[in-house]
Structure 1
Amino acid sequence: MGCSVAVAGASGYAGGELLRLISGHPEFELTAATAHSQAGQPVAAVHPQLTGLDLVLGRTEPASFDGADLVFLALPHGQSAALAAQLPAGVKVVDLGADFRLRDASLWTRYYGGEHAGTWTYGLPELPGQRAAIAASDRVANTGCYAATITLALAPLIAAGAVDPADVVVVAASGTSGAGRSAKVSLLASEVMGSLSPYKVGAHQHVPEIKQATGATSLSMTPVLAPMPRGILATVTARALGPDPREVLSAAYADEPFVHVLPEGVWPHTAATAGSNSCHLQATVDIDSGRVIVVSALDNLGKGAAGQAVQVANLMVGLPETTGLSVFGVAP
């Protein structure tokens, strides 16, 4: 018998991607999906790409998850903790929000506001030691999308002493789905098409998470909204300290199924990772400044959210982490 799975917050973009992945998963049985304002609607009415999935969205309340072995929380930041506290101890939970990612309560208050809910196992299997920790956990905090993109590019370099952790600069462009599905003037097609615009400059909420995951002590990040629905492309630079960055990344990810250091001279682009759970990396050293440059691309709804959550859940229930996930993107 497969694992009974439920999704809270299934009406959003990440929630819809979770439903798609779970529905095609050979060992997961989707038994419930809930929403707030869309409760009572058939899934296909909210997510037309899931036509044929015969399920009605329920209300996001504890009773909706009765009988589930595993629950994904795809709720807005700050809303997961209250629901998680009402789920039985034996139920495994993967939170796609930020509620349980940070160890430092003061940083939660500074970047998100309100009371810190606590800290769960961090859900990035490619970090040293995390795969075993995830497999042994019943509660896991999935990474943020920018955090996954940047951490995969940066963490091995800091660990190997290849870059200065006190001198990291990131410029990263994200598709509009990263901002969620709520109606906002800044996300209207007329505002986004033909335009790049920075936002949350110098104060993005993923900065403390990235520093915590990578060991960086100073990180300047400029996020950019790009006129595309999904995908992240991050350019990470840092002062070089010695070891060849490409060799470090190649060694770190040699056996990883979802992280690919591209052939020399080939650079990542977002379209190549769309629909996949993969991250593409390339590194070089700037011939003028001598700084290390790493470019990282992934699908913010895949490896940056729902795909990563399924990868984590596979480990939690004892399955191969690649189960039900695609390494390959969709093109064109």
Structure 2
Amino acid sequence: MDVDAFVLAHQDTWKRLEELVKRRRRLSGAEVDELVELYQRVSTHLSMVRSASSDSVLVGRLSSLVARARAAVTGAHAPMWHEFARFWTVSFPVVAYRAWRWWLATAVVFFAVVVIIGIWVAGSHEVQSALSTPEEIEHLVNHDFASYYSDNPAGSFALRVWVNNSWVAAQCIAYSILLGIPIPWVLFQNAANLGVTGGLMVDAGKADVLFGLLIPHGLLELTAVFLAGAVGMRLGWTVISPGDRPRGQVLAEQGRAVIAAAVGLAGVLLVSGLLEALVTPSPLPTFLRIGVGVAAEVAFLSYVVHFGRKAIRAGETGDTEDAPDVVPTG
């Protein structure tokens, strides 16, 4: 596309639309019809520029104009319920689904570290002696691990769990501004802790206690942490390798997607916190508690796949509606 020729051919249309938008409260009936027609025409221009040009300045200008024209045509703000429904059926699931490769890779590496450290700890009493005294290890496997889930009132425990897990996820999100470099270390620390505890429990013949208390809430909890790490590292990689689009445009889009993921994960972690406080320490048989955890995990993954695929087919990216295509500058 010859951008200069395109601008020359259509700039009068853009100027007219901008004029009508500025006078939107004082338009005649004919001018309202003209506003709608020009809005549709300029939306087409924007689509053409996006597909055939990498001129981020022009794309940003037309995006802003189309967004303001749409607000003038349809009203300044969508109802709150519409924004809420869009977030949970479009913005959050499509961000999660688009990051599935990063998400899966994060999970595979995390569990590989857990298994390796767990086997190492379980198979070496020298390693166990270096970690703690025999008395402390015995107290952990026979009392501390199980009592952690039952010694506190469910309400306060759920809140504490939610805050702790949200903090881990928040670190992964926040470290995206550092190109995601610290995120693997945060995840490694959590994997190492889980591997050490698992190794000690398995070596003491408490594998049934370990999995019976971890699986009901841990599947959903770890899935949320993996997703947080995935979107954080993906944003960092965007800065390094933005592809064939302007770095500012891709960074702005991915940055807003990360914010959507952070908000959605707070809700997911709230559910896992409730499971940890109410289901994990409950007197239900182990197979039922594990069944609840598996059902919650399957429900979440099904939700992401269903709504994520649907949103991608509709051309959604997880970005806000009518968001600018470049990072605003002063």
Q: Quick check: TM above 0.5? A: no
Structure with a larger share of its residues in helix: 2
What TM-score, normalized by structure 1, do the two folds share? 0.22
Q: Point out the structure with max Rg over C-alpha.
A: 2
Of structures 1 and 2, the one with the larger relative CO (CA 8 A, separation 6+) is 2
